[in-house]
Every structure is written in C-alpha cells, then in structure tokens.
Structure 1
C-alpha cells in the first residue's frame, strides 16, 4: 500500500535537541510501516533552502520537503497562513505526479488542515492523529497557551471530516467525544517503542551504587512536572534525581527553565541531589534509563507517555502521573505506581515506598518488560495501522466539509 504521512513541522530527519518528540515517533512509525511491506513517503515543510526536494532514508521511506512559506522554522501561529499552500502542493503532486497514495495519515491538527485540503481534491482518504488537543492545553496552560486562534474549532471540524481518527490513549477518546467528534470515527492505536534501542541489556550510565537513583526524561517545559519531582525529593532521603532532556549540556546554564529548576532545588535543599544532563542521543538515553532504580514521569498532562514506555522497555519500574497515555501504559500496582498530577507530596510518598521495597521493584520491572513486549512494539503498531488504512482505502469519501 502507498502511504503518505504528513508532518508539517516535525521532520523525521530532525536532529534530536530533546528527548523523544513527535519527529521521532513519525520516523519510527514510517520505518515500521516499511518493514510491513508498505511504500511510505513523509511530507514535511521545507525549513531551509539547503534541503533537497526528496531524501531517501536508510529505513526505506522517503522524506519530501514541501515548499510552503519561507524556508525557515516557524512557530504554529506563523505556520497557519501557509497551510493552504501546503495542501495545494500536495494535491498537485498526488493528482499530476507519478505517485498517488492510497491513504494519507496526518500528524497534528495543522497537518490535518493541509491533508484534508489535498484529500478532497484527489480522492485520497485521510487518517488523522492529533498528538495533542487544544482543549487539554487550554485547560492546563490557561493564558500561557500559545495555540493559534480557532484551534479547538478546527480540531472539532477535522474530527468530523477525516475518515478515521487514530487516538493514542483512552483519555483522548473522552476528550474528543466531549468535543463533538463521533466515537465511530476513532480507532485506538498506542504508540510503539524501539525495543532494539530500549532494552534491559546494554551500556549503563555511570552512577554511585550506594545512592538510589531516579531518572526523569522530557522537554524542559513546565507541564512536564520536573518542578514537582524536585519538590518531592525532600521526602526521599539520599536519592539522586537525574533530569534528561532540554538543550545540550553546554547550553543549560543559559536556559531559563533549567536555571529556575536549579534555583528550586536550592530552595528545597536538594541541589546536591539534582543532576541536569541536557539532551542526549537516543542510543545513550537507554543507558540513563538502565542506570535508574525508578523512572519518574510526572507531567501535568501527556497524550502519549513515551518516557515511561522507554523505561519499562529497559526493565525499570515507573512512578507516573495518572494522566493521558501514562494511565494506559503504566498499570498501577503491576508495572508501577500512579499518583495524581501536580501533587509533590503523593509523588514523594510513592517514590520513597517503592525505593524501600526491592522485591516490589523487581516484580514491577518484570511485568513492565512483559507489557511492553506484548503490547507496545512498533511491529504491532504498524499492523494495527495497516488495518486502519485498509479499512478506509476501499471506501468512498463521505466526510462532511470543514466548517
């Protein structure tokens, strides 16, 4: 099957500047679909005049750079005016070129706008994954939400117009139903994890064996809950906390969020037990997980929860916020413990109790590894997506127009 994946600003060719990210998920999903025998092309916006039109990757899929708007990286609000041009370019390529997809999978709602535009003009059915929802971001971030105006209305219209919505967790289903998206259009397909990279055996980051270690991974932004982890540390005597992610180590001293996190650690009296390592290559990230007694994931909201999955794949138990994708991947009392978000006291209690119980940690780690291997491989994800694509590629388009 010919599959177009549209990711308007998260290119799978991007050099990792932070742990994980949508560009990583797009790349790994594309590679998994190629391994299932599909012909895959990923369309992303051209952000530099030096980028070639098409790049063939070692994993067997192609990345096509779309000339929509200026050739530089743009924030979401500035991307919006160029999505029509993006969609028209796709339509022209699919209608007049030598390669027309059987299905187009849009990643993120703005990709969905361009993809629906092209799909209507070429008859290509459209599958959409939101990755994050405006309703959740507005609720959690309030006035700090930087989404383009009208985002929630667009997301509602896209949910009614796309042929299928691929959701990534149960919580997302509830959000979309409340938004007015028909439940019948949704299919739950959890994100996969690269089990060749994230596995129990392999190099381990250096550590003091006499001091318990917790590792927390993610972008250096407030909603990832790093402050709550630091505030929980006084309740966890002697344990060190390693924070992986954000800018490279050399830039941490000038990063505003990293400086605030260090200041918070000072005020909590735990500065000597908090280590910020910055961005690391994904092959090295696995070593940090393997060095941990616990992986802690304490975001305020999280549609996917990739860090807990990666930690579980490395055979490490998890203490996580009971939100979004984490509530699906971490089974409370079996593969880890779940606590309410934004609750440092509950988080500290859960970490302290689990660090004190070696037998329980071993049981959690064993169950976590079994769960990842049985439910969260990229092969399983690609098989499920293949079934979704097949279900829409043989039917005519009946979706209503965008409002």
Structure 2
C-alpha cells in the first residue's frame, strides 16, 4: 500500500502498553451514521480505538460535547473511553462552524491532561482536531500524529464556491502537517496531495482505513428484494452531492432491468423534506427512472451488511473520495463494486478483479461498467470472492491497528533518540 518512494516502517519490538489520546472534535464514535457530518471518520475512530485496545493499549477518544444528555465520559467498550469536551454551545453544530471553538477545546485538553496525567501519545483526526491537539501537545511536550481524513485543497478544487470550509482551513492544515511528528495518511493519493502542500513525503506513513470482517461478511441475512426487479444496485453513504448519487441515477436510464436503492441521509419519515432528496428525485424524474429509484434514508448500523448482501452491484461514484469505506464494506460482503477512480478508491478497488474503476463524472462509463457486471453472474461472483480475499489480506482492523502502532512506536523511538542526542 505504501508508495515506492515513501519511507518504510520497521517493526519495532512490542513494548509496554500505551496510554493513547485519539482526538476527533466533530466525529464522535457514538454518533448515528448517515448524517451530513457523520460517516466514515466516525467509524474509523471507533474501530481504530477498539482495535488498539485489543492490542492492550488504553484509549481515550476526545470529542466535542454536543448534547446535555451526554455524560462527561462513558465507556465505548473495554479499554476505550469516550470523553466529551465542553467547547462551544452544548448543541449539534455543523463541523464547518466549529473552528471558533477549537481554542477552548485545546485549552481543555491542556488542563485535563495536566491534572489527570498526560497520554503517552496524541493522535488527532481531521484538521480542526489537529489544531486543538497541536497547541496542547506543544505545551505539554507530547508526541503527536495526525490523520486528515479529508484535505481542504481537494475539497476546494472540486467544490469551488460551494465549499463551506473556513477560508483559513488550508493554511491550518499545512501548520498541522509541519507541526506534528508524523502524518498517518489513508491512501497514496493523499501523500501526493500532502507533497503539493509542501509537507515532506517521508513525513507520511500510509495506513489505510479498515473494515470489520466479522460484521461485514458474505454469509448472513439478506435484505428483502423488490418483486419484479431483476437486478438491484445500491448506493450507500452520506447524502451529499459529492457522493455522486445523481450520476448513479443518470446511469440507471441505461440499465432498464435494474432498480437503484439510495441509502443514507435523514430518517425515512424525514426524506420528503430533505433538499438533497428532492433534488435527486427531480433528477430521476427528468431521466425517466423515478419509478426505479428508492430512497431508504438512514440505515441502522446492524442492518447495513444485510442491505449490502442484497445488492448485485454496489456503486461508489463520488466526485472525490478521501478514502471511502463503503467499497471495503461491500467487498467484505462479497459484492462487486463499481467506483470512480478517485482518492482511496484507487487503492481499495482492484479494476477487473474486485470490480471496476471508472472516470469521475462519466455517466456512460459508469453505466457500461455496471451493465457488464449485471450481464454475467459468474463474473460478479468471482469479483465478489476476490474482494473478500483482498479485504482479509489488507484491511482487517487488526492489521490497521498494528500498522498504526508501528507509526506510534517509530515516533516514540525517534523522540528518545532526539532526547539522547541533546543530553
């Protein structure tokens, strides 16, 4: 997974268990998935914390308190505590509105770690968490690693004037990248973007996101299929324009025997009022496929594997995708994927082995690749089996946690060497 020119990580000997602080200011591991600001990062932080705990470490996830119902801290699972940081109003806020509250978040971390005892290492997630963590880590002399999950340069390039990020985001991301000890990048494409920011390539370790291969597996319950439809296509994830649901709907016009399920967004009883659902229904109406598109709304986490197993092909046609967890979940369930060749999907989906990669924004390419798979049951089965093998060999959370720990140990060892050199 690491690019040929990136620094390789040697596996140090297993040392004592670590006290780890994972900082995720807006993406709580306790959040309900499918909302505008709740998706892959929430899953990543929760699963990484759990897998690190399985390796014997003590993990605390620091996230912003956004409800009066939340306790100061709670146990996510054995070895993992979620600590709710009072920063800003105790209410849900869009993540792009959180920057003014990061100074308060950072001060709280400094005070809490000074009084309760500092962690051995800080691992921040997303750029605002990086800002808050960097100030606290510098003040207390703590080693810090950072995972961006998404880069402002990429978002601005694709969204232009529609980008709602604070204007200072890119400069702040550069500050975090230079100030932390190590960047933990999730794919090779991200390393390329970091180099464009001026961050040295050898400062980044490539460690992909993972998938729970026990929850997501080929065998198990299958969601009910629609009577009279030969094939089912599924698009799963946050209901935002960049995820490309409009492209899937347009492609459906070229796939007359298929239905398209779009899962994600608000609760089913709120779909009619959702602006993005209304926009996509208008797209489907103009394409003449409204009767073959079904919006199912937010899906409970425990229902997602059965929904994936009910699909003949899973579509992931995002305009851009920092990593993309859905392809891994689909592959783990033994389902072929048709995805755009962007971001982490270029690493996870093996073209003509576990699915197909198509150019972003190309309706005809998406339709053609999907039609090719729908036309051949044997190819779909072979791709699905290959996808499962690929996930098991590269993307289990145990493997991701072990690689992340190697980055941690490398940073800690480097600090020891530097301290010895100064003596």
Q: Which TM bucket (shorter chain)?
A: over 0.9
Task: Describe the superposition over 1:28-60 as per-residue Cα deviations: whole angstroms up to 9, x where unpaired.
Answer: 111111111100000111112332111112343
Query: Partner residue of 2:32?
Result: 15
SS in 1 for 2:145: strand
Contact 2:34 2:238 in 1 (8 A): no
Inter-CA distance 149–210: structure 2 relative to 1 (3 Å threshold): closer
TM-score normalised by structure 1 residue count? 0.96
- Which of 169, 184, 188 is the matching residue for 2:187? 169
Q: Give the whole-Å Cα distance in 2 for the aligned partners of 1:169 and 1:12.
A: 22
Query: Partner residue of 1:151?
Result: 169
Query: Partner residue of 2:7?
Result: none
Q: Give the whole-Å Cα distance in 2 for the aligned partners of 1:42 and 1:100.
A: 14
Q: Give the whole-Å Cα distance in 2 for the aligned partners of 1:348 and 1:32.
A: 38
Inter-CA distance 50–83: structure 2 relative to 1 (3 Å threshold): same
Query: Partner residue of 2:156?
Result: 138
- Following superposition, the deviation at residue 26 of structure 1 comes to 0.9
Q: Aligned pair 1:217/2:236, yes or no?
A: yes
Q: Aligned pair 1:355/2:386, yes or no?
A: no
Query: Partner residue of 1:299?
Result: 318
Q: Aligned pair 1:345/2:364, yes or no?
A: yes
Query: Partner residue of 2:22?
Result: 5
Q: Give the whole-Å Cα distance in 2 for the aligned partners of 1:136 and 1:210.
A: 38
Contact 2:61 2:80 in 1 (8 A): yes
Q: 249-258 or 68-77, which moves further after superposition?
A: 68-77
Q: Give the whole-Å Cα distance in 1 for the aligned partners of 2:413 and 2:279.
A: 53
Contact 1:76 1:148 in 2 (8 A): no
Task: Describe the superposition over 1:305-349 as per-residue Cα deviations: whole angstroms up to 9, x where unpaired.
Answer: 111110000000111000001111001111111000011111011
Q: How does 1:229-248 map to 2 (within 5 A)?
A: 229-248=248-267
Task: Describe the superposition over 1:185-242 as per-residue Cα deviations: whole angstroms up to 9, x where unpaired.
Answer: 1000000001121111111011147511111111111100000000011111211111
Inter-CA distance 59–315: structure 2 relative to 1 (3 Å threshold): farther
Query: Partner residue of 2:14?
Result: none
- Following superposition, the deviation at residue 77 of structure 1 comes to 4.3
- Following superposition, the deviation at residue 362 of structure 1 comes to 1.5
Q: Give the whole-Å Cα distance in 2 for the aligned partners of 1:293 and 1:86.
A: 45
Q: How does 1:105-144 map to 2 (within 5 A)?
A: 105-144=123-162
Q: Aligned pair 1:206/2:240, yes or no?
A: no
Q: How does 1:206-285 map to 2 (within 5 A)?
A: 206-207=224-225, 208=227, 211-285=230-304
Contact 1:232 1:348 in 2 (8 A): yes
SS in 1 for 2:253: helix
Query: Partner residue of 1:186?
Result: 204
- Following superposition, the deviation at residue 84 of structure 1 comes to 1.5
Q: Aligned pair 1:75/2:94, yes or no?
A: yes
- Following superposition, the deviation at residue 2 of structure 1 comes to 0.7
Query: Partner residue of 2:13?
Result: none
SS in 2 for 1:324: coil
Query: Partner residue of 1:401?
Result: none
TM-score normalised by structure 2 residue count? 0.91
- Which of 384, 390, 410 is the matching residue for 1:371? 390
Q: Aligned pair 1:385/2:404, yes or no?
A: yes
SS in 2 for 1:57: strand
Q: Aligned pair 1:331/2:350, yes or no?
A: yes
- Following superposition, the deviation at residue 181 of structure 1 comes to 0.7
Query: Partner residue of 2:80?
Result: 61
- Which of 46, 65, 68 is the matching residue for 1:27? 46
Q: Give the whole-Å Cα distance in 1 for the aligned partners of 2:188 and 2:300.
A: 30
Flag structure 1 segments of 5+ consecutive residues without an equivalent: 399-403
Q: Give the whole-Å Cα distance in 2 for the aligned partners of 1:391 and 1:330.
A: 29
Contact 1:190 1:376 in 2 (8 A): yes
Q: Aligned pair 1:37/2:56, yes or no?
A: yes
Q: Give the whole-Å Cα distance in 2 for the aligned partners of 1:396 and 1:283.
A: 42
Which runs of structure 1 show a deviation greater than 4 angstroms over 4 or more consecutive aligned residues?
Answer: none
SS in 2 for 1:232: helix
